[in-house]
């Protein structure tokens, strides 16, 4: 019994920090209708700044912690004013969500450049000796953590209920348009919520640093845990955020002690999926959440596609380049990255169908890569199944998993869909780590054979190149046919207005499921090819970072354009290998690229190029846009 209580106490300590991050989520969500996924990174910013003040400048712990929180808030203010606030009125909520993924990556990049990749730990604020109460040992830092959490909750409560600023925050949460009409500077209030949330996260980071060592990319763990906590509790409920955080902390610790530390994540994720299925608004939410009146006005408006002849011409040029490329690039590391570009592009093609055409946000695409990759690799390696058959088995299994997942995801929209798919990806991730006997665990699966068809082994990079290039050509042609026809039109109709689509006879659920299945199949194919090409597969190659990276590739290239994302994949895969000595800047550059694209070129490189070509074409064609009813409407 004592041990049990001890574990629960540890869970409460961990949970207090989750609760703080979750509070920040809830605060920003209530004011803006968006989850700021960069939230967790501010924990790490504060902790590392505090470490620097303490170690390099020799400050005492408490002033260093205080200064770190202030510095983090200032950093957040600059970041928010330059990115988060301008995004409103420009991007749809799903776009802003993706923007905050970019911010998360950007902050991680900054930390990597400043502090390197090693973990840091601080000494406890008031000594190492734990308190002993009735035979229970409570780490002294625990008092600081719980105290800080209580203080933040009380201060936040006072601010929201008793001050004019709190009133403005709550007004924006209720109705942004009305708040603006009442003279509230919505931009400033949004920024304030963003900074306040970051400061709360910073407090969490500072008090947690002594009992957990943190490195540059620990932020996403806080983001994910805080996100799960707030989803369990209910996005609109502050009480829910705190309760969800504590619950998550306890589940995590109990799972780690009584089940297995390898599966403790899986346990929390199952709880989350159960909540999403049975109480999608969370356990504590009182209402249905915010109504998003602004959503419709902020969809990307253009239609970026090439007409028949231009499309075929571009296709022919691209095919010729594909065929000739191996002649131009010497065999070696760089050529190998080109092959990897192609393999990843296959998965991104699937993501384009799902996200670009059908408008279903997915943050767990790499989960299907993992299912396909591990199934194929294990079958081929352990059971000597021919690679082709092993790959097909992986694809079939991934599609089956996709169908099961659809039961959850087809009921979810927007943010909840993003959350559900993220949870799925993390679940697969933690299974890949946990099932050591099957997958080889964290260190990966080795000795995977080459891909082979009949008697032919695809053993060299060159043969793999032509295999992948051939597959890509076939897949692009098939998908182009599908997307130009009735199937693709139905998907695009669902993307923005499922109700109107349904009223025209489109079975929305069936088309969503079809899109999920196609994307899962392509991701699984990509995952198997990846494993066969590397002769090795580890969870981190097909983990959540990969999922987020693929979303970035899709957006940078251009959603709903099929070939556009190839540009994004190539950029994010090849650039780091071209500038090896600058590898430390890769994370930063990826984040910066994402943020800039979401803000200034949401239609992607390919989309922008097509728009430019169309604009030039219009210069030479008679004007067609002279509207009969007085100009072109907004």
Partner 1 sequence: MSGRAPAAPADAGGPPALRIAHLDKRFGGVQATSDVSFEVASGSLTALIGPNGAGKTTLFNLITNLFPPSGGEIVYFGRPLAGLRPSEIAALGLVRTFQTARVFPRMTVLENVLVGAHRHVRAPAALQALWWPSALREDRTLTRRADALLALAGLATYRDIAATALPMGAQKMVEVIRALMAGPRLLLLDEPAAGLNDRETADLAVLLRAIGDNGTTIMVVEHNMALVMGVADHVVVLDAGRVIATGTPAEVQADPRVIEAYLGQEAAA
543: nearest Cα among 382, 418, 363, 396: 363
Beta-carbon contacts of 70 under 8 Å, excluding residues fewer than 6 positions away, are none
**Residue 288 binds partner 1, judged by CB under 8 A:** no
Would you say 450 and 459 are in contact if contact means Cβ atoms under 8 Å apart? yes
**Residue 410 binds partner 1, judged by CB under 8 A:** no
In whole angstroms, what separates CA 608 from the centre of its chain? 24
The minimum distance between CB 478 and partner 1, in angstroms, equals: 4
**Residue 98 binds partner 1, judged by CB under 8 A:** no
- The residue length of the chain stands at 634
**Binding span for partner 1 by CB under 8 A among 69-77, 485-493, 519-527, 585-593:** 485-493
**Residue 302 binds partner 1, judged by CB under 8 A:** yes
Q: Which is nearer to partner 1, 206 or 306 (CB)?
A: 306
**Binding span for partner 1 by CB under 8 A among 33-41, 294-302, 437-445, 464-472:** 294-302
Q: Among 154, 478, 584, 612, indicate the residue that binds partner 1 (CB under 8 A).
A: 478
Q: Which is nearer to partner 1, 239 or 492 (CB)?
A: 492
**Residue 632 binds partner 1, judged by CB under 8 A:** yes
**Residue 354 binds partner 1, judged by CB under 8 A:** no
Would you say 39 and 201 are in contact if contact means Cβ atoms under 8 Å apart? yes
The minimum distance between CB 502 and partner 1, in angstroms, equals: 4
**Binding span for partner 1 by CB under 8 A among 225-233, 366-374, 378-386, 623-631:** 623-631
Phi/psi region, residue 121 (left: phi>0; alpha: psi -120 to 50; beta: rest), is beta
Measured from the Cβ of residue 140, the count of other Cβ atoms closer than 10 Å reads 16
Measured in degrees and rounded to the nearest 5, phi and psi for residue 582 equal: -95, 15
Q: Which is nearer to partner 1, 501 or 531 (CB)?
A: 501
Would you say 38 and 225 are in contact if contact means Cβ atoms under 8 Å apart? no
Give the angle subtended at the CA of 327 by the CAs of 321 and 329, to the nearest 5°. Answer: 90
**Residue 507 binds partner 1, judged by CB under 8 A:** yes
The minimum distance between CB 90 and partner 1, in angstroms, equals: 15
Distance CA 367, CA 598 (A): 24
**Residue 60 binds partner 1, judged by CB under 8 A:** no
> To the nearest 10°, the Cα dihedral for 266, 272, 277, 279?
160
Dihedral sign for Cα 600, 606, 610, 615, please.
positive
For residues 572-588, one letter each, b for 16 or more C-beta atoms within 10 angstroms of the residue's C-beta and e for the rest, the string is: bbeebbeeeeeeeebbb
**Residue 485 binds partner 1, judged by CB under 8 A:** yes
**Binding span for partner 1 by CB under 8 A among 16-24, 344-352, 474-482, 572-580:** 474-482
Q: Among 303, 331, 382, 460, indicate the residue that binds partner 1 (CB under 8 A).
A: 303
**Residue 21 binds partner 1, judged by CB under 8 A:** no
**Residue 508 binds partner 1, judged by CB under 8 A:** yes
347: nearest Cα among 326, 371, 331, 381: 371
The minimum distance between CB 505 and partner 1, in angstroms, equals: 4
**Residue 470 binds partner 1, judged by CB under 8 A:** no
Q: Which is nearer to partner 1, 181 or 503 (CB)?
A: 503
Q: Which is nearer to partner 1, 308 or 455 (CB)?
A: 308
Q: Among 5, 323, 477, 612, indicate the residue that binds partner 1 (CB under 8 A).
A: 477
Distance CA 347, CA 547 (A): 10
Question: Binding pattern to partner 1, positions 548-577, x when CB under 8 A?
Answer: ------------x-----------------
Beta-carbon contacts of 112 under 8 Å, excluding residues fewer than 6 positions away, are 216, 217, 584, 587, 588
Would you say 265 and 426 are in contact if contact means Cβ atoms under 8 Å apart? yes
**Binding span for partner 1 by CB under 8 A among 51-59, 432-440, 503-511, 590-598:** 503-511
The minimum distance between CB 349 and partner 1, in angstroms, equals: 13
| Residue 446, CA distances (Å) to 78, 336, 530 in order | 46, 19, 13
Distance CA 137, CA 518 (A): 53
The minimum distance between CB 500 and partner 1, in angstroms, equals: 4
**Residue 482 binds partner 1, judged by CB under 8 A:** yes
**Residue 254 binds partner 1, judged by CB under 8 A:** no
| Residue 573, CA distances (Å) to 391, 542, 567 in order | 24, 15, 10
Q: Which is nearer to partner 1, 235 or 491 (CB)?
A: 491
The minimum distance between CB 296 and partner 1, in angstroms, equals: 8
**Binding span for partner 1 by CB under 8 A among 129-137, 241-249, 346-354, 624-632:** 624-632
Would you say 374 and 607 are in contact if contact means Cβ atoms under 8 Å apart? no
Distance CA 132, CA 139 (A): 9
- The residue ranges that bind partner 1 (CB under 8 A) are 299-303, 477-479, 481-482, 484-490, 492-493, 495-497, 499-508, 514, 560, 624-625, 627-633
């Amino acid at each position: 019994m004592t041990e049990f209580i001890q574990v629960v106490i540890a869970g409460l300590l961990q949970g207090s920090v989750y609760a703080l991050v979750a509070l920040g989520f809830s605060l920003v969500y209530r004011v803006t209708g968006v989850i700021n996924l960069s939230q967790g990174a501010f924990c790490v910013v504060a902790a590392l700044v505090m470490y620097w003040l303490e170690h390099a400048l020799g400050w005492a712990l408490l002033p260093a912690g205080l200064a770190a929180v202030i510095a983090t808030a200032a950093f957040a203010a600059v970041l928010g004013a330059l990115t988060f606030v301008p995004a409103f009125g420009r991007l749809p909520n799903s776009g802003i969500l993706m923007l905050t993924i970019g911010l998360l990556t950007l902050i991680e990049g900054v930390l990597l450049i400043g502090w390197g990749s090693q973990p840091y730990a601080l000494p406890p604020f008031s000594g190492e000796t734990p308190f002993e109460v009735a035979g229970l040992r409570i780490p002294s830092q625990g008092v600081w953590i719980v105290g800080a959490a209580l203080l933040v909750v009380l201060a936040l409560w006072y601010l929201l209920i008793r001050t004019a600023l709190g009133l403005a925050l709550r007004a924006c949460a209720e109705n942004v348009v009305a708040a603006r009409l009442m003279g509230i500077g919505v931009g400033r209030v949004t920024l304030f919520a963003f900074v306040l949330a970051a400061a709360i996260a910073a407090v969490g980071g500072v008090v947690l640093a002594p009992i957990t060592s943190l490195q540059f990319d620990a932020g996403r763990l806080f983001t994910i845990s805080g996100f799960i906590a707030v989803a369990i509790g209910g996005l609109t409920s502050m009480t829910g955020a705190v309760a969800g955080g504590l619950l998550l902390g306890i589940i995590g610790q109990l799972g780690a002690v009584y089940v297995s530390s390898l599966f403790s994540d899986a346990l929390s994720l199952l709880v989350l999926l159960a909540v999403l299925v049975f109480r999608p608004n969370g356990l504590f939410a009182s209402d249905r959440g915010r109504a998003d009146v602004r959503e419709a006005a902020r969809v990307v408006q253009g239609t970026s596609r090439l007409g028949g002849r231009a499309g075929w011409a571009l296709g022919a040029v691209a095919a010729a380049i594909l065929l000739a490329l191996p002649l131009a690039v010497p065999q070696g590391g760089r050529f190998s990255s080109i092959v990897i570009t192609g393999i990843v592009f296959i998965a991104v093609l699937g993501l384009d169908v799902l996200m670009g055409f059908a408008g279903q946000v997915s943050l767990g695409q790499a989960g299907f890569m993992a299912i396909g990759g591990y199934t194929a690799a294990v079958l081929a390696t352990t059971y000597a199944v021919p690679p082709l058959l092993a790959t097909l088995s992986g694809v079939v299994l991934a599609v089956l998993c996709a169908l099961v997942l659809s039961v959850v995801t087809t009921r979810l929209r927007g943010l909840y869909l993003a959350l559900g798919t993220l949870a799925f990806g993390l679940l697969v991730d933690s299974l890949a780590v946990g099932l050591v006997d099957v997958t080889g665990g964290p260190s990966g699966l080795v000795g995977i054979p080459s891909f082979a068809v009949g008697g032919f082994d695809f053993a060299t990079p060159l043969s793999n190149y032509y295999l992948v290039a051939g597959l890509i050509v076939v897949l692009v042609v098939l998908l182009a046919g599908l997307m130009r026809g009735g199937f693709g039109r139905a998907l695009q109709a669902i993307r923005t207005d499922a109700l109107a689509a349904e009223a025209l006879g489109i079975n929305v659920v069936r088309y969503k499921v079809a899109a999920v299945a196609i994307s899962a199949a392509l991701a699984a194919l990509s995952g198997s090819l990846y494993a066969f090409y590397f002769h090795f597969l580890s969870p981190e190659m097909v983990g959540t970072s990969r999922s987020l990276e693929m979303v970035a590739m899709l957006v940078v290239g251009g959603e709903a354009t099929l070939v556009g994302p190839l540009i994004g994949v190539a950029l994010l895969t090849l650039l780091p290998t071209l500038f090896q000595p600058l590898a430390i800047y890769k994370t930063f550059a990826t984040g910066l690229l994402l943020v800039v694209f979401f803000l200034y070129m949401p239609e992607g490189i390919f989309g922008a190029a097509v728009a430019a070509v169309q604009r030039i074409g219009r210069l030479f064609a008679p004007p067609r846009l002279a509207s009969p009813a007085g100009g072109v409407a907004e």
